[in-house]
Chains A and B, each alone.
Chain A
Amino acid sequence: MIKKFNSKCLQLVILGVAIIFIYPILSTFICSFKQNNDNFILQGYLLILMKERWFLTGFWNSVGYSVVITFLNLIVAVPAAYAFCELQFKWKNVLYVIYIFLILMPLQVTLLPNYMQLRDMGLLDTRWAILLPGIFAPFGEFLFIQYLNGSSKTIIEAARLETNSVVKILLYVIVPQLKVCIFAAAVFIFAENWNMVEQPTIFLSGKDRLPLSVILASVENIDVNVLFSGAIIFLIPPIILYMYFHESLEKGLGVLKI
Chain B
Amino acid sequence: MKKIGLHIFTVCFFITMLVFTFWGRQIYIQTLPEVKVMHIEEKQFEIELRQIESSVASTTMIVNALPKEAIKDSMIYVLEESDGVDVVTQRSVLVGNEYEGWIEILSGINPEDKIVYEAEQELENFEQVRCIK
Query: Which A residues are closer than 8 A to B by beta carbons?
Result: 49-51, 53, 56, 59-60, 236, 240, 243-244
Contact = CB atoms under 8 A, between A and B. Distances in A.
Most chain A CB atoms below 10 A, which of B28, B83, B84 = B28
B3 A56 contact: no
Contacts of B10: 240
Interface string B13-38: 10001001100110110000000000
A65 to B, nearest CB: 16
Nearest to A47: B28
Q: Which 6 A-B residue pairs are closest in the complex by CB-CB distance?
A: A50-B28, A49-B20, A50-B24, A56-B21, A240-B10, A49-B24
Max chain A C-beta neighbours (<10 A), residue from B17, B83, B128: B17
A236 B9 CA distance: 10
Contacts of B9: 240
Contacts of A243: 3, 6
B129 to A, nearest CB: 13
A239 to B, nearest CB: 10
Given A49-B20, A49-B24, A53-B25, 11 more contacts: A50-B24, A50-B25, A50-B28, A51-B28, A51-B128, A53-B83, A56-B20, A236-B13, A240-B6, A240-B10, A244-B6
Contacts of B27: 50
Query: Main SS of chain B's interface residues?
Result: helix
A231 to B, nearest CB: 15
B20 A53 contact: no
Contacts of A51: 28, 128
Nearest to B10: A240
A49 B10 CA distance: 17
Interface of B: 3, 6, 9-10, 13, 17, 20-21, 24-25, 27-28, 83-84, 128
A137 to B, nearest CB: 26
A53 B24 CA distance: 9
B3 to A, nearest CB: 7
A56 B14 CA distance: 12
A158 to B, nearest CB: 33
Nearest to A59: B17
Contacts of A240: 6, 9-10, 13
Contacts of B83: 53
A166 to B, nearest CB: 34
Contact of A244 (B3, B20, B84): B3
A59 B16 CA distance: 13
B14 to A, nearest CB: 9
Nearest to A51: B28
Nearest to A240: B10
B86 to A, nearest CB: 13
A53 B6 contact: no
A240 B17 CA distance: 14
A51 B82 CA distance: 12
A56 B17 contact: yes
A244 B10 CA distance: 10
26 contacts: A49-B17, A49-B20, A49-B24, A50-B25, A50-B27, A50-B28, A51-B28, A51-B128, A53-B25, A53-B83, A53-B84, A56-B17, A56-B20, A56-B21, A56-B24, A59-B17, A60-B17, A236-B13, A240-B6, A240-B9, A240-B10, A240-B13, A243-B3, A243-B6, A244-B3, A244-B6
